[in-house]
Structure 1
Amino acid sequence: MSNSVTRPRIAVTLGDPAGVGGELVAKLLSDPQTAARADLVLISDEAELAVAGADAGVPIDYAAAGADSDGRPRLHHTCARRPGEFERRVATEAGGRWALDNLEIALGLAKAGEVDAILFAPLNKTSLHLAGMQEQDELRWFEDYLEETGFTSELNVLPGLWTARVTSHVSIARVDEGITRDNVTAAAHLLHRVLHESDIAAPRIGVCALNPHAGENGSFGRHELDIIGPAVADLRAEGLDVSGPFPSDTIFLRREEFDGILTMYHDQGQIAMKLLGFDGGVTVAGGLRIPICTPAHGTAFDVVGKGVANTGSIRNAFDLAVRIAGKRALAASS
Structure 2
Amino acid sequence: MSNSVTRPRVAVTLGDPAGVGGELVAKLLSDPDTTARADVLLISDEAELAVAGQDAGAPIDYVTGPADGKPLLHHTCATRPGVFERKVATREGGRWALENLEIALGLAKAGDVDAILFAPLNKTSLHLAGMTEQDELRWFEDYLEETGFTSELNVLPGLWTARVTSHVSIARVDEGITRENVDAAGRLLHRVLHESGIAAPRIGVCALNPHAGENGSFGRHELDIIGPAVEGLKADGLDVAGPFPSDTIFLRREEFDGILTMYHDQGQIAMKLLGFDGGVTVAGGLRIPICTPAHGTAFDVVGKGVANTGSIRNAFDLAVRIAERRTIAQPS
TM over 0.5: yes
Aligned partners of 1:160 and 1:58: how far apart in 2?
31
> Which residue is equivalent to 1:59?
59
> Which residue is equivalent to 2:274?
276
Q: Is the 8 A contact 2:39 2:68 kept in 1?
A: no
> Which residue is equivalent to 1:170?
168
Tell me which of 139, 142, 153 is aligned to 1:141: 139
Counterpart residue identity of residue 233, structure 1: E
Aligned partners of 1:123 and 1:197: how far apart in 2?
26
The one-character-per-residue Cα deviations of 1:237-292 (angstroms, maximum 9, x if unpaired) are: 11110000000000000000000000000000000000000000000000000000
> Which residue is equivalent to 1:77?
75
Q: Is the 8 A contact 1:6 1:327 kept in 2?
A: no
> Which residue is equivalent to 2:327?
329
Tell me which of 207, 210, 222 is aligned to 2:208: 210
Show the 5 A alignment for 1:268-307. Answer: 268-307=266-305
Q: CA deviation at 1:333?
A: 4.6
> Which residue is equivalent to 2:228?
230
Q: CA deviation at 1:71?
A: 1.7
Counterpart residue identity of residue 30, structure 1: S
Q: CA deviation at 1:68?
A: 3.0
Task: Calculate percent identity across the aligned residue pairs.
Answer: 88
Aligned partners of 2:46 and 2:112: how far apart in 1?
22
- Which ranges in structure 2 are unaligned for 5 or more consecutive residues? none
Q: CA deviation at 1:49?
A: 0.1
Aligned partners of 1:173 and 1:142: how far apart in 2?
25
SS at match of 1:76: strand
The one-character-per-residue Cα deviations of 1:201-249 (angstroms, maximum 9, x if unpaired) are: 1100000000000000111000000000000010111111000000000
Q: Is the 8 A contact 1:13 1:121 kept in 2?
A: yes
- Which ranges in structure 1 are unaligned for 5 or more consecutive residues? none
What TM-score results when the alignment is normalised by the length of structure 1? 0.97
Q: CA deviation at 1:14?
A: 0.1
Is 1:130 the counterpart of 2:125 in the alignment?
A: no
The one-character-per-residue Cα deviations of 1:178-222 (angstroms, maximum 9, x if unpaired) are: 000000000000000000011111100000000000000111000
Coordinate RMSD, CA, aligned: 0.7
Is 1:38 the counterpart of 2:38 in the alignment?
A: yes
> Which residue is equivalent to 2:248?
250
Aligned partners of 1:151 and 1:6: how far apart in 2?
29
Aligned partners of 2:307 and 2:317: how far apart in 1?
18
SS at match of 2:330: helix
> Which residue is equivalent to 1:315?
313
> Which residue is equivalent to 1:99?
97
Aligned partners of 1:268 and 1:119: how far apart in 2?
26
The one-character-per-residue Cα deviations of 1:270-325 (angstroms, maximum 9, x if unpaired) are: 00000000000000000000000000000000000000000000000000000000
What TM-score results when the alignment is normalised by the length of structure 2? 0.98
Is 1:118 the counterpart of 2:116 in the alignment?
A: yes
> Which residue is equivalent to 1:16?
16
SS at match of 2:275: helix
Q: Is the 8 A contact 1:19 1:122 kept in 2?
A: yes
Counterpart residue identity of residue 34, structure 2: T
The one-character-per-residue Cα deviations of 1:46-84 (angstroms, maximum 9, x if unpaired) are: 0000000000000000002xx232420000000000000
The one-character-per-residue Cα deviations of 1:136-165 (angstroms, maximum 9, x if unpaired) are: 000000000000000000000000000000
SS at match of 1:191: helix
SS at match of 1:75: strand
Aligned partners of 2:239 and 2:116: how far apart in 1?
30
